[in-house]
Chain A
């Protein structure tokens, strides 16, 4: 794995995160209705989110606010996440 400069965090779409990666929701691009639906499932700006599963097609499975949520791939592409540097493993 290539090393990242400390303090230089990546902001990428949720759909591009790999399983095991986590971060904080930075922006959500969507209409009011979409935002309301995501909020009710716990996905809001500032929420901690981690990816459990992410296959090339189909929805992304994430863990957010202590529950598992499946988000359609299209929608996941419009949720931008500030990826947290991986914990020292």
Chain B
């Protein structure tokens, strides 16, 4: 906290809560357009912060990742608790879903183990009432000892009261005295552990809290304590832990007992809970068979809408960019070379970024509707059995299918998946799925080179190939690259609610802007670079340009998979965008005055064409996808892996196809 003169304060406020309690809704209302979205350092988890001004005060609001507890069970939980411990927020607002108040207070109990400066925001009061819950907020506040603010954030109710409470608590106008949690039989073990731990430098955590986490079996705290204490001391701690095997259960019991006592006088539940809309909807949407069918339909609709609804806009933008290009070409006074650099290099690269905007916008609107309504949790539920076979999370089905439209969408869609391991796996598998641009190149070459009766089998074969590579890569990645066991599904299915326009708009805006910021610079540079490669030295024939030389340089490699320097050059250009490889092919092969189709038919055998298409289907992801992978993982290592491993697979597969093909035909 900082005082800025007079009574005005600058406060650091953290929002904590279970997933789906309306945390983002509250964050969005508090901060509006003044938010900044990034990732937590080195994590695939989103970090949202923003500023809320109220009277003369400034609140820096941090939206902590949704977590059910503060045990290091997941990255989200770890991030939330490290923030509370290390960044010392002035206030932690625990947002709870009033319709599931008993379970939601479990997080509050854990936050109160770390800090006293907490406020309980009791959201979704309307849904609690619909369920027949009667919550006496004043009584609850007295019992629990921290300020309680009832809210219906969807309708912006309770926001002003929440801010006022935050300021009251920060300025010391309100007495916060949380009701202590009693751990009964564990108190002895706790105080003995506390005594062993105190006096050591243990990363700023309170000894009592560490003692509790040790008894709970928190792996992160275990590592910390073990590495900072002598082996002798650690042995004493271990024996204490062994003597209290049942501690994790007793601690959970103590917290729930605390909740029960708190609610005993302040909440009344009906004898039989009212049947809600959620119950009725889940009969259908979470049904093992009907739910699955509905999901397939929903998936098809999302696919169709994402790529078809955006199509006219993409066309208009493409048209505009090329018109601007033509207009500039006749007006700019720089001469052919510089004009080409600006228009065919920079502007067309920029055009590629711009034409992604409509697709991204439609996709993120759809995803936020599904997320906000609570349906996405049902996707994880109904798909879990099926996706489990692949060793993947139930929600992985959505980004993996959308990757067929565009890998950028598939990669950015992976953020709906819980669990860092599963998220990374889906991100890494994306490049193996042929997007529409690659399908276009495949279809063109197959149609040009293959005899008519072999075209459909060839396309089918390529699809089967990519699908089996996804399986193989998934297995290999899980074995060698991605640590960690698959975490069994364990999640809440939230109550359905209508999505709010504000959430959808902000969610979409921030994702699209984040991508554009990164992608425009990278893609324009690569576009200029590839253009230069294909034009320098000035006046050279295609073979003598750097791109041609690069192609020749790659010829030994090309020989392995049956391709000459021209195909290699096309593959290099395809790195920018997959459809570029067709453009380069047409320059290199089509120079004899004939069309590309005819030239290709003369230049490539069907075997070479098959090897080429298989390779270009699997090899490195395009620049835009690489940017997206970097944005999602923030890891140079994983991004490099996503480039290198598909290349290795593509080479192996294409070489195998070509060699076996040659052997068979002789």
Chain A positions near chain B (C-beta within 8 angstroms): 28, 31-33, 35-42, 44-47, 52-53, 55, 57-59, 61, 64-75
Contact = CB atoms under 8 A, between A and B. Distances in A.
Contacts of B102: 42, 65-66
A69 B73 CA distance: 17
A68 B282 contact: yes
Given A36-B69, A58-B381, A68 B492 contact: yes
A59 B282 contact: no
A69 B101 contact: no
Interface in B229-253: 248-249, 252-253
B220 to A, nearest CB: 11
Given A35-B249, A41-B103, A68-B278, A59 B384 contact: yes
28 contacts: A31-B217, A32-B217, A32-B248, A36-B218, A39-B249, A39-B252, A39-B255, A40-B68, A40-B71, A41-B68, A44-B249, A44-B253, A45-B253, A47-B256, A52-B282, A58-B384, A58-B386, A61-B286, A64-B103, A65-B103, A66-B273, A67-B103, A70-B377, A70-B380, A70-B384, A70-B490, A71-B490, A75-B489
A66 B104 CA distance: 10
A52 B276 CA distance: 13
B391 interface: no
B382 interface: yes
Main secondary structure of the interface of B (DSSP, over half): helix
A44 B287 CA distance: 26
A40, A55, A67, A74: residue with the most chain B Cβ atoms closer than 10 Å:
A40
B221 to A, nearest CB: 12
Interface of B: 68-69, 71, 73, 97, 99-104, 106-107, 131, 216-219, 248-249, 252-253, 255-256, 269, 273, 278-279, 282, 286-289, 377, 380-382, 384-386, 388, 488-494
Nearest to B216: A36
Given A35-B252, A45-B249, A70 B493 contact: yes
Contacts of A37: 68-69, 71, 73, 490
A67 to B, nearest CB: 4
Given A52-B282, A57-B288, A36 B103 contact: no
B429 to A, nearest CB: 21
Contacts of B388: 72
A70 B377 CA distance: 9
Contact of B489 (A52, A65, A70): A70
Contacts of A45: 249, 253
A55 B490 contact: no
Contacts of B377: 70
A83 B172 CA distance: 50
Contact of A67 (B269, B287, B492): B492
Contacts of A65: 100, 102-103, 256
A69 B490 contact: yes
A66 B105 CA distance: 12
Main secondary structure of the interface of A (DSSP, over half): mixed
A47 B255 CA distance: 13
B100 A67 contact: yes
A74 B388 CA distance: 11
A58 to B, nearest CB: 3
The 8 closest A-B pairs by CB, nearest first: A32-B217, A58-B385, A40-B69, A55-B288, A39-B252, A72-B488, A67-B100, A40-B68
A13 to B, nearest CB: 14
A55, A71, A73, A74: residue with the most chain B Cβ atoms closer than 10 Å:
A55
B385 A59 contact: yes
B490 A57 contact: no
A46 B273 CA distance: 20
Given A41-B103, A58-B384, A59-B385, A32 B253 contact: no
A71 B385 CA distance: 11
Given A40-B71, A66-B102, A46 B253 contact: yes
B102, B131, B219, B252: residue with the most chain A Cβ atoms closer than 10 Å:
B252
Contacts of A64: 103
Given A35-B248, A70-B492, 18 more contacts: A33-B219, A36-B69, A36-B252, A38-B490, A41-B103, A41-B491, A44-B253, A44-B256, A53-B288, A55-B289, A57-B288, A58-B382, A59-B385, A61-B282, A65-B102, A65-B256, A66-B269, A73-B385
B100, B101, B255, B279: residue with the most chain A Cβ atoms closer than 10 Å:
B100
A3 B350 CA distance: 74
Contacts of B71: 33, 36-37, 40
B253, B256, B488: residue with the most chain A Cβ atoms closer than 10 Å:
B488
A8 B278 CA distance: 34
B73 A66 contact: no
B219 A59 contact: no
A58 B493 contact: no
Nearest to A58: B385
Contacts of B492: 41, 67-70
Given A44-B252, A69-B493, A75-B488, A33 B217 contact: yes
A72 B490 contact: yes
